[in-house]
Chain A
C-alpha cells in the first residue's frame, strides 16, 4: 500500500564514488584521519571555507594540500607573516610606464584552493583583506571588483598554542569560516602505520587529481538539493538559539551559523549517500560549525572551558526530533 506522499526528497542519485575517491586519495597521505577529512570535504561541498586549528606537525597543511590536489583545483599557498600586506594576498595594480596605465597583478587569492598557512600570524589588516574574497567570492582593488574563480576555497591553518607574534582572528573573520576543525594527534597504531608508509617517499608528491572542478561544482549543486525535513531544520535552529542563551557565552551563533550548519549537514548526508539529513548529520557537523563562532565569557575563559565543550553540552541537552516511547504501563 502506498499512501499519498507530499514532500519528495531530492530526486538526484548521490554519487558516493566521488566522495570515496577523494577520501581514499587523501587517506594515502594522512593516516587515520578519515573523520576530519570527511568533515573538511563536507565543508568544501557546502561551498565554505575551512579553518584547521591544531598544534604544529599534526598534518594540517598536508590535509589542505591533499584535498586541493585530489579535487583537481589550482592551489596556492601563502605563508602568513606579520609583514604580509593585503596586496600580497589579493593582488595590486602596477603602473606600466610603457603604456602609462595601471595593470592589475592578481594575488594568490585568484586560485581554486588558497592555503592560508598560519593565518593568525598576519596583522588584522591583512586578515581582513580576505573577508570580501571569502564572503562574496570577489576582490575589489582600486575601485574595480574582480570575481574569483569558482569553486574557490580557503583552507587556513593556525596554531592555537602560540600567542607570541600572533593576532587572534576577529569574530567577523572567524564567522566566514564554515568549519573549524582540529586534526589531532594520531593514535599509536596510526603513527606506526604512517612511519611505515612514509619511510622512503612522501606520497603527496605522487598524489594526483581524482576529480575535476566541474565535478565539484556539480556535487555542490547536488548537496544543496539534499532534503532537510522541517523538524530537522527546527532542531538545527534550536541548537543555534541555545548557544545565544548559554550562561558561559556572550555572543552565540548567528543565523549565518544556522545556514552553515544546514549546509554541512546536507553535505555529510550526501557523502553518506543519503538524500536526506538526519539529526546525526547535524550533531556531527555542530561542533565544527558552531564552536568557533561562540564568544565566551571571561569567567569561562579563565576556567579554561573549551568552546567545543559547550556545543557538546548543548547537543546532549537538546532533544532530537524522534518518536518518544509511550509511558510505561505497569
Chain B
C-alpha cells in the first residue's frame, strides 16, 4: 500500500545537483562571487523548475553584474574599459553556451560536457574538473529525462518574429562599412598582476594602470580579470552586437506581456529574467560602442591610455605589460563567432520558414482536412509516441497534484487514480494498456499510438474538471 508520503512528488536525486557545479568552469573569467552565484542559480533551477527557466538570463545578469564590479577600477582608463567590454562579451557568450549545455545535460546529452570543457580551457583553473564532474553526475538516466516541451503557440510566434526581425538587421549590419581596424592587435584583458603576487590569484587592490580604483574601500574592490586575452583584429561588426543588445532589450519588454496573457502573477524567476534581459541588452550595446571606439581610432579622447599602454612594458594594459605566459590568443574567436552567428541566424530563419511552409494548408485539399496536420504529432525519432503521450499525461497529472510514486507501477498508478477519480479510469486504462507493450514488451510499432495520444489528451482535458488534489494544508 502506498502511503501519502510515497505518493508525494519527490525531490530530485542528489546527483542532479551536480549541475550546480557547472558554472565553476567560468571561474577563470569571472569574480569568484559571480561563479558562486551562478552555482546557486543552477542549484535553484535543479530544485525548483520555475527557476530553471531563469537560468539563461539569470546567468547573463550575474555575469553582467560580476564584470560591472570591475568598472570602478577601469573608469578613466580607456584601454581597461575596452578590455572589460571584450571580456564581458566573451563571458556572456560563455554564459549562453553554459546554459544551453545545462539544458542539454538535463536531456541526457553527454556531449554537452564539451561546453564546460571548452570554456574551462579558455581560462583553466581548478574549478574546471569539478564542473565536468558535476555535469557528468547531473546527467539523468533514461527515465528521469524530461519530455521535450513544446512552447505555447503565442510564445512560438513571439520568438519567430524576433528571429525573423534579426535576419534583415544582421544583413544590414554586415552591409554597413566595417570600422577601421586599430593598429596591431587589440588586447582585452585584466590588469597585470601586482608585482610579487601569485600569478594565478586574482589580484585585489586598486585599479590597474590608472590607479583610480577604490583603494580606500577594501570591501568593494573592483574585480580584476585574472587572464589576458588577445582578441586580435576585430572582425565582429559592432552593429551586430548593438542590434543584439537592442533585440534582447526588446525581448525583455515582451516577457511581461507574455506572462500577462497567461493571467498569472509574476514569479521571482520572471523578474530575474527581465532584469537579466535588460542588463544583458544594455551591456551588449555598451560593449559594442566601446569596442567600436577602440577599433575606429577616432576615440583618442576616450582611449588615450589604450594607445599608450599597448606595447609598453611595465604598464597595466596589454600583454606586453603583464605576464607573457598568461596571454591567451583568441584572435580566431571573433571572426569565427561572426560566421557562426550568421550561420545560426540563417539556419534559424530557414527552419522557421520551412516550418511555416509545412504548417501551411495545401490549397488543393478541403479545409477540414487541412486542419488535421496542426494536431498531428511531430515524428519522434528518439522516443516512441506512446511513451511521449504517457509522459505528457503523467506530467499533467503531476501538475494537478496526483503524481506517480517512483516505486509505483503504471498499472497500479492507473488503478489508484481510476478509483479516486472515475472519469480518469478509462483514459488511464487505455493509455497504460498502450504503454506497457511499448515500454516492457519491446513492441515498437505505432499501432495504438493514436489511441494513446487521444487518451492522454482526454486526460489533460478532464483534469481541470476534477476537484483539486488535497495538499498538506488540507485538513
A interface with B by C-beta (< 8 Å): 1-9, 227, 229, 231-232, 274-280, 283, 315-330
Distance of A326 Cα from B390 Cα, bound (Å): 11
Query: When the two chains form the complex, which single residue of A278, A318, A323 contacts B394, counting CB atoms closer than 8 Å?
Result: A323
Q: Which residues from chain B contact A232 at a C-beta distance below 8 Å?
A: 440
For B436, the closest partner residue in chain A by CB is A278
By the criterion CB–CB under 8 Å, are B390 and A319 in contact? Answer: no
CB distance from B4 to the nearest CB of A (A): 13
By the criterion CB–CB under 8 Å, are B445 and A5 in contact? Answer: yes
Q: Mark B385-406, 1 if CB is under 8 A from A, else 0.
A: 0010011101101110001111
Interface-centre pick from A278, A283, A315 (highest chain B CB count, 10 A): A278
Quick one: given A316-B6, A323-B394, A325-B395, are A5 and B443 in contact (CB under 8 Å)? yes
Asked whether any CB of chain A lies closer than 8 Å to the CB of B69, the reply is: no
Q: Which residues from chain A contact B444 at a C-beta distance below 8 Å?
A: 3-6
Query: When the two chains form the complex, which single residue of B2, B50, B392, B411 contacts A329, counting CB atoms closer than 8 Å?
Result: B50
Distance of A328 Cα from B394 Cα, bound (Å): 11
By the criterion CB–CB under 8 Å, are B52 and A326 in contact? Answer: no
For A5, the closest partner residue in chain B by CB is B444
Q: Which residues from chain B contact A2 at a C-beta distance below 8 Å?
A: 445-447
Q: Which residues from chain A contact B2 at a C-beta distance below 8 Å?
A: 316
Query: When the two chains form the complex, which single residue of A8, A274, A319 contacts B407, counting CB atoms closer than 8 Å?
Result: A319
Q: Mark B401-437, 1 if CB is under 8 A from A, else 0.
A: 0011111111110000000000000000000000111
Distance of A195 Cα from B8 Cα, bound (Å): 44
CB distance from A270 to the nearest CB of B (A): 13
By the criterion CB–CB under 8 Å, are A330 and B267 in contact? Answer: yes
For B397, the closest partner residue in chain A by CB is A325
Contacts A278-B436, A325-B399 given; 20 further ones with Cβ under 8 A?
Answer: A2-B446, A5-B443, A5-B445, A8-B442, A227-B441, A227-B442, A232-B440, A275-B441, A276-B440, A276-B442, A280-B409, A319-B406, A319-B407, A320-B410, A322-B409, A323-B147, A323-B439, A325-B397, A326-B146, A330-B50
For A279, the closest partner residue in chain B by CB is B409
Q: Is the interface of A mostly helix, strand, loop or mixed?
A: loop
Interface-centre pick from A3, A232, A321, A325 (highest chain B CB count, 10 A): A325
Asked whether any CB of chain A lies closer than 8 Å to the CB of B311, the reply is: no
Distance of A329 Cα from B411 Cα, bound (Å): 26
Quick one: given A316-B407, A326-B395, are A321 and B6 in contact (CB under 8 Å)? no
CB distance from A321 to the nearest CB of B (A): 6
Quick one: given A322-B143, A322-B404, are A229 and B395 in contact (CB under 8 Å)? no
Q: Which residues from chain B contact A279 at a C-beta distance below 8 Å?
A: 409-410, 440
For B441, the closest partner residue in chain A by CB is A276
Query: When the two chains form the complex, which single residue of B392, B407, B442 contacts A320, counting CB atoms closer than 8 Å?
Result: B407
Quick one: given A7-B442, A276-B441, A328-B49, are A320 and B409 in contact (CB under 8 Å)? yes
By the criterion CB–CB under 8 Å, are B439 and A322 in contact? Answer: yes
Q: Which residues from chain B contact A278 at a C-beta distance below 8 Å?
A: 409-411, 436, 440
CB distance from A285 to the nearest CB of B (A): 13
Q: How large is the interface on B (under 10, 10 to 19, 20 to 34, 35 or more residues)?
A: 35 or more
Distance of A227 Cα from B437 Cα, bound (Å): 11
By the criterion CB–CB under 8 Å, are B446 and A1 in contact? Answer: yes
Query: When the two chains form the complex, which single residue of A3, A317, A324, A328 contacts B391, counting CB atoms closer than 8 Å?
Result: A324
For A3, the closest partner residue in chain B by CB is B444
CB distance from B100 to the nearest CB of A (A): 17
Quick one: given A229-B440, A322-B439, A323-B391, are A328 and B399 in contact (CB under 8 Å)? yes
Q: Which residues from chain A contact B437 at a C-beta distance below 8 Å?
A: 9, 276
CB distance from B122 to the nearest CB of A (A): 31
CB distance from B51 to the nearest CB of A (A): 10
By the criterion CB–CB under 8 Å, are B410 and A229 in contact? Answer: no
Q: Which residues from chain A contact B412 at a C-beta distance below 8 Å?
A: 280, 283
Asked whether any CB of chain A lies closer than 8 Å to the CB of B144, the reply is: yes
Query: When the two chains form the complex, which single residue of A315, A321, A328 contacts B398, counting CB atoms closer than 8 Å?
Result: A328
Q: Which residues from chain A contact B367 at a C-beta distance below 8 Å?
A: none
Distance of A9 Cα from B444 Cα, bound (Å): 10
CB distance from A154 to the nearest CB of B (A): 31
CB distance from B388 to the nearest CB of A (A): 8
By the criterion CB–CB under 8 Å, are A3 and B445 in contact? Answer: yes
Q: Which residues from chain B contact A322 at a C-beta distance below 8 Å?
A: 143, 404, 409-410, 439
CB distance from B78 to the nearest CB of A (A): 45
CB distance from B455 to the nearest CB of A (A): 14
Asked whether any CB of chain A lies closer than 8 Å to the CB of B149, the reply is: yes
Q: Which residues from chain B contact A327 at a C-beta distance below 8 Å?
A: 49, 52, 146
For A277, the closest partner residue in chain B by CB is B440
Distance of A297 Cα from B249 Cα, bound (Å): 66
Quick one: given A324-B391, A326-B147, A326-B391, are A318 and B442 in contact (CB under 8 Å)? no
Q: Mark B75-99, 1 if CB is under 8 A from A, else 0.
A: 0000000000000000000000000
Q: Which residues from chain A contact B143 at a C-beta distance below 8 Å?
A: 319, 321-324
Interface-centre pick from A1, A231, A323, A329 (highest chain B CB count, 10 A): A323
CB distance from B10 to the nearest CB of A (A): 9
By the criterion CB–CB under 8 Å, are B403 and A325 in contact? Answer: yes
By the criterion CB–CB under 8 Å, are A318 and B144 in contact? Answer: no
Asked whether any CB of chain A lies closer than 8 Å to the CB of B53, the reply is: yes
Q: Which residues from chain A contact B6 at a C-beta distance below 8 Å?
A: 316
By the criterion CB–CB under 8 Å, are A315 and B407 in contact? Answer: yes
Closest 7 CB pairs of A and B: A327-B49, A276-B441, A7-B442, A319-B406, A325-B398, A5-B444, A323-B391
